[in-house]
Each structure stands twice: as structure tokens, then as C-alpha cells.
Structure 1
Amino acid sequence: MRHVIALDVGGTAMKAALIALDGTLLYEERRATGRERGPEAVVEAVIGLAEDLSARGRSRFGTAAEAVGVAVPGIVDARRGVAVHSANLGWCDVPLGESLSRRLGGTPVAVGHDVRAGGLAEGRLGAGRGSGRFLFVSLGTGIAGALGIDGGVEAGARGCAGEIGHVVVRPGGPACGCGGRGCLEALASAAAVGRAWAAASGDPSADAADCARAVDAGDEAASAVWRTAVDALADGLVTAVTVLDPGTLIIGGGLAEAGDTLLVPLRAAVAERVTFQKLPAIVPAALGDAAGCQGAGLLARDLLATAAAV
């Protein structure tokens, strides 16, 4: 059976799959990234997992994988297959595509950004299917986005399109990991909400999920923390709506697991802020944490389709 390898490399875990060319999931696996052993060890872990999947595919289906798609966090130069910078993995200018291809006997490799890969999957297979133009926003440790256009995702001139998390919504506000202040990510990511609720509750182990539960229970301090994050997120999203005019806003990532506790006030806050702009549908992501791996599979399949069309 003809198939591809899909890899979604996270800061702590890797999700991997063998996927048939028609999209059927044939096999899936998860492994630790091994970040604690250093950046070179992470590269070897990724390659080792790909080699194991390649061997499994040959054994089970009698043929080698025809392409590999790999999604990684940070700044990615997809054209060169290079992970330019990833703080999560400690990578800087890692030629991941070349290294993987060489170790897999010349198998073609597509390298993409994890959130944009997830957005690609949501656009074709999930909540954005049929919408034409959408913005996928992932609210996790950080905040990143993917602009979907007619079945594809816009990477930008330098691979950085969609970085909505670094739109400044509170000038002079909290410090952000990017070096700026008042970025959306510093105020409305799951990590930011967790920090704010830990401080407000006096529980250093509290996180965003705890804050959401406290909001549901009617805790006023939690509600104040939540409103601060929702207001910042609404400001950032209205900026994106004004510039990009998406038909649908897809909200994913860990914070979105709060469901209507997030989406109901967020929809209201965005609606209050729009003037001439057309209000897009604001919907939850459909694929959960499988989106990145499914998107990596789409990158691999698209690579084959492009090669076939040449």
C-alpha cells in the first residue's frame, strides 16, 4: 500500500503516523522527544523514529514510504527544509529535511511549522473544511496562527506568517519571550492564564485549566483573570480580522479545551469590537492534538502531488 510518514515534533513528545495516500490512518505512535538530552539528541530521536516507521511500513505493506512530512515548532524555512530556530527544542539552523532524507535513502521530506501544519489539517479535514479563507489560532504555551486560503496555508515571505501571538495588544505590558512587551501571547496564552491564576489564587501549581474550572464554579478572582485574557484575545483577533478578513476563526490549543467557558465570552467580546468588519464565525478546532501530525501527513502528500505535476 502506498503511504507516507508523518511526524509532529513537540517540546516533550513526538506524534507519528503512517498514512495512506487517500488519507487513511494506517499506524500511529508516540514517543518522548528527549529534549533533556540536548538538541543533537532530539534530532537523532526524530530521525530514529522516522527510520523505525520506514521499517514498519516496508514490513507491513511491502513498500517504502514515498515521502515524509515533519512539523516542528519555531521558525521554519520550508523551502530549504531547515528548522531555523526553535527555543522548545534548542535548535538553530538544523537542516532537518536533508538529514532525514539522507538517512532514509533519499526519500523526499517536507518540513513545516507545527501550527501551520495543524491549520492545514483543520482547513482540509476539520473545522475549516469548505470555508475557503480562515484563521487558525492555537492557544497553548504560546500563541501562533495559520492563515488558510483555498485549501493551503500561507507561510509568508520568510516563513513567519500567522504569528498573531506577537501582535502588541497592551503597549508596555508584560514581557514576552520574543523580547517585546504587551504581546498577545504574554496575556492570553494558556501559559499566561496559568501564571496569572497561580498568582491570584496563591497556588503556584495552578494552571489555566484550574482557572477555567474556578470560573465555572463562580470564583470572582478567576473570572477577573479570565476576562483579562479574553479581552486581550479579542483585541488581537479583531486586528487579525481587520487585516486578513477571514470567513472563519478556528480556536485550538490547550486553552480552547475550556469550550464554551472561553468561546461564549470571546464571541461576545469580538462582536463588541467590530465596526465595519464582517464578523467571522468563531468555532472550536475539531482535530485536537492530532492536527499537527495529520498536517504533517498532508505536507508529505502535497510534496508527492507537486512532484507528480511537474
Structure 2
Amino acid sequence: MVMPVPAAVLTESAVPGSMNDVRRSNLALVLGRIAQASADTHLTRAQVASATGLTKASVSSLVLELLGAGLVCEIGLNPQGERGRPGVGLQLNPDRAVMGMEINVDYIAAGVIDLSGTLLVQEIQERDNRDSDSGPVMDALALLAATVASAAGKRGVRILGGGLAVPGLVDAATSRVLLAPNLGWTGVDLDLTRLLPGTALGVALFNEANAAALAELQHRQANGGSGFLFVSGEVGVGGGLVIGAELFTGPEGHAGEVGHVVVAPEGSLCSCGGTGCLETVAGQDAIFTAAGISGSRTRSENMSALVDSLTAGEPGALLAVDRAGKYLGMALASTARVTDIGSVVLGGHFAVLDPWLRAPLVASLEKYAPGRIAAEQVSLTAVGQAGALLGAAGSVVRSLVEAPYLVQP
């Protein structure tokens, strides 16, 4: 995982303010440099000092603090780039981790990633959360989180905090779900402290599509900072907009809601209260209904049945997915015109249905926004179904790198 690094070195003589602020900034600078190193590179104290412009004595003192907090550890000797006696290499502590969690319409999930971004443990539990009170859902997630934390603990891993992704508009500062129509939640305050009690960083709240977009961004950073729109296909349709290697959420934090772009003005009522939104024709339930797939089966079983029908060439299924692809392309064309993005990443059921969805999607893009998004710029998710929890957890790791003083020795 590539971590951002503060742009400038703070020195006691150059920056006004408290000495404590200077030390905290330099602590983040040192941890950021260690986090930036590739998996097979273990920087020494001298190399960190050279890279940051800090004195060797300052770096040694800061590293001692990071060692005490358990955020880094020493590993072997590093002879590369050293004169004389080799130095001791440093790396992020593999025994420290954060937990990503997700509440979606038909499942809850929890996974533990270490500070380098490696997924260590993951559990997904199917559960019908539609129109459920938040209390029982949080109870179930707390039990799942405890189970996953216990599994990580048996491997000697200590969890420092976590992130929770939900399919709706959120106010992270107040831990409130403003609107999650497919869950039936409006203005719901979540007690996040019950999920990971006693952890240093607590739990942060994220929009599911934005979190998944962040996971895609982390994966793509090695290839540059071009922007893209991540489209999450679940019961609803979510979107995360990345511009210049940064997630763009808008003034109120709600940008990227491509699922509620109107594509069929005379169409069906949407769960958001609007009419003719993309979600009403390209969401999972809409596709299942149009394909004649329903009943008491779970959504994963419905998706398997849909794929079987598509593989068999059943006209109803093919028509339903063709229609979804057409309207998805229409929504993406409008979004591309407004945001100036030229690349799209498909996740959720859009990735699963790609063999049948792509042709009508590309044709629709070419019709409504010719030359704006090339066919080769429509790619599939690189992080899969775990994207939301990986993105939520990864955001917490980045916050930790920027403020390591939050974890006390």
C-alpha cells in the first residue's frame, strides 16, 4: 500500500508553534517514509534521515517512539546504500492491523488488514437488512467483528481501529447515516464504539461506494493519478468519483451518486423518492424482476440463476441485462460530460455481468457521449467484493500514518 507523505520537513527553528506540534509532524513524516517503501525494501534510520532531511539523531528518537507504539519493527540488516557498518532495517509492524466492516442490504462483512494493506482475515455473513432497525444489524455486526478480531488475535495481530461502510449518505463527523434508502434508514445515529471497544483509533464511518473507490485508487496508484468513476452495483447503484488521485465527495460529501441520475423520466419510483433513476433499471432487484427471476432465494442464488439463464441464452435474461447496460451507459455519459472523467471501473453485479453487459454499455456510451469514454477505459474492479471494507480500512491506515501519535506507547 502506497501511503501519502507530508510534503515538507518541519524543524524547530523554521516553524512557529509548540514543540509538540513539530514533533508530531516529524513523527508522521518518518512513518510515512517507512510506509512508502516497497515490500522488499527496509529503510534504515540513516536512509530515512536522508530522505526526510531530518537529522539522524532526530530520526533515531522518532523511530524509538514508533517502536514503542508498536507501529514499526526492526528487521535484519540493510547493507544497501550504507557506508561502513550496515544499519537495521525498519518496516511497518505486521502484527498491527485495522478492521474494515460493511453493512449492505443482504449481508454484513468484516475483514482485518495489516498496516501494509494485506487482507489477513475476512468473514461475510448473509443477512437480510432491508427495512431492519439499526440496532439488530449493529448487534449482528458487533458479533461478527468480535469473531474476526478473535481470529486475528490468535495470529498475534492487534487491531488498532476500523472503518464501517454503509450503502447510503453519511455524516462521518457525527456517525450518522443521513439516508440509506435500500436499508430503510433515514437520520440514523450509529454507536460505532460498540464495534471495536477499547481500540486506540475507534471506528470511522464511510459511504460504501466511496470506500470501494478508495480501494481501487490504492490499487491503481502505481500507474499514476488519472481520475475515474467507480460504479458499485448492488441492490442499489453507488458511485465514487476520483479526480487527480483524490476521492471527490463534494461540499456536502455526497458527490458521485450515479445511481440516482435520471435515465427514464417516465419510469418507476426510486427508493430515494425520485422517479426513473438508474437504480430502477440497473439495480440487482430491477434486473432480477425484468429477467423473471424472483422467489425466496437469496440474492446470491438469484445472481447465479441469472448467470445460468444468460449462459443458456434465455431471451428474458438477455433483454434485462441489455436494458441495464444501455441505461448504465446513458448515466455514465451524462456523468462524464459534467465531471470530465474518461475512465470507469465496474464493481458488484456489473462486473459479474460484464460478458453480457459490456456491448450495450459501450454502444450507449458511444451514442450519448461519442469519444468521451473509450471502450478500453471501461475496466472491472481489481479488488472485488471486498472493496468497500478494504477501502474503509485503508482510509483508517492512512489516517494513522498522518497522525501516529494517536497510538500511545
TM-score bracket, normalised by the shorter chain, equals: 0.7 to 0.9
Aligned to 1:161: 255
Structure-2 separation of matches of 1:32 and 1:208: 14
State whether residues 241 and 248 of structure 2, in contact with CA within 8 Å, keep that contact through their aligned partners in structure 1.
yes
State whether residues 190 and 255 of structure 1, in contact with CA within 8 Å, keep that contact through their aligned partners in structure 2.
no
Say yes or no: does 1:116 pair with 2:210. yes
Q: CA deviation at 1:183?
A: 1.0
- When residues 128 and 166 of structure 1 are mapped into structure 2, their CA distance, relative to the original with a 3 A threshold, is farther
Structure-1 separation of matches of 2:378 and 2:222: 10
Amino acid at match of 2:389: C
The SS at the match of 1:61 is coil
Structure-2 separation of matches of 1:98 and 1:223: 46
Structure-1 separation of matches of 2:303 and 2:145: 34
Q: CA deviation at 1:168?
A: 0.8
Say yes or no: does 1:70 pair with 2:179. no
Amino acid at match of 1:20: D
Identity %: 30
Size of the aligned set, in residue pairs, is 304
Say yes or no: does 1:297 pair with 2:367. no
Q: CA deviation at 1:135?
A: 0.2
Say yes or no: does 1:226 pair with 2:321. yes
- When residues 236 and 56 of structure 1 are mapped into structure 2, their CA distance, relative to the original with a 3 A threshold, is same
Matches within 5 A, 1:221-300: 221-275=316-370, 277=372, 279=374, 281-300=377-396
State whether residues 3 and 20 of structure 1, in contact with CA within 8 Å, keep that contact through their aligned partners in structure 2.
yes
Q: Deviations over 1:37-89 (max 9, x none)?
A: 74212112223333444455445326x32221111122211233322333444
- When residues 278 and 51 of structure 1 are mapped into structure 2, their CA distance, relative to the original with a 3 A threshold, is closer
Q: Deviations over 1:222-243 (max 9, x none)?
A: 4443333222111111001101
TM norm structure 2: 0.66
Structure 2: gaps spanning 5 or more residues = 1-94
- When residues 67 and 151 of structure 1 are mapped into structure 2, their CA distance, relative to the original with a 3 A threshold, is farther
State whether residues 234 and 349 of structure 2, in contact with CA within 8 Å, keep that contact through their aligned partners in structure 1.
yes
Amino acid at match of 1:307: A
Q: Deviations over 1:164-202 (max 9, x none)?
A: 11111121212211111111111122221211121xxxx
- Greater CA drift, 221-230 or 146-155: 221-230
Amino acid at match of 2:96: R
Structure-1 separation of matches of 2:106 and 2:262: 28
> For the pair shown, which has the larger CA radius of gyration, 1 or 2?
2
The SS at the match of 1:228 is helix
Structure-1 separation of matches of 2:172 and 2:374: 32
Structure-1 separation of matches of 2:251 and 2:211: 17
Q: CA deviation at 1:287?
A: 2.1
Aligned to 1:17: 111
Q: CA deviation at 1:4?
A: 1.1
Amino acid at match of 1:301: V
- Greater CA drift, 258-267 or 139-148: 258-267
Q: Deviations over 1:262-306 (max 9, x none)?
A: 113312221232247454711122222111221122122122123
TM norm structure 1: 0.84
Matches within 5 A, 1:48-87: 48-61=143-156, 64-87=158-181
The structure with higher relative contact order (CA 8 Å, sep 6+) is 1
Say yes or no: does 1:135 pair with 2:226. no
Q: What is the RMSD computed on CA atoms of the aligned residues?
A: 3.0
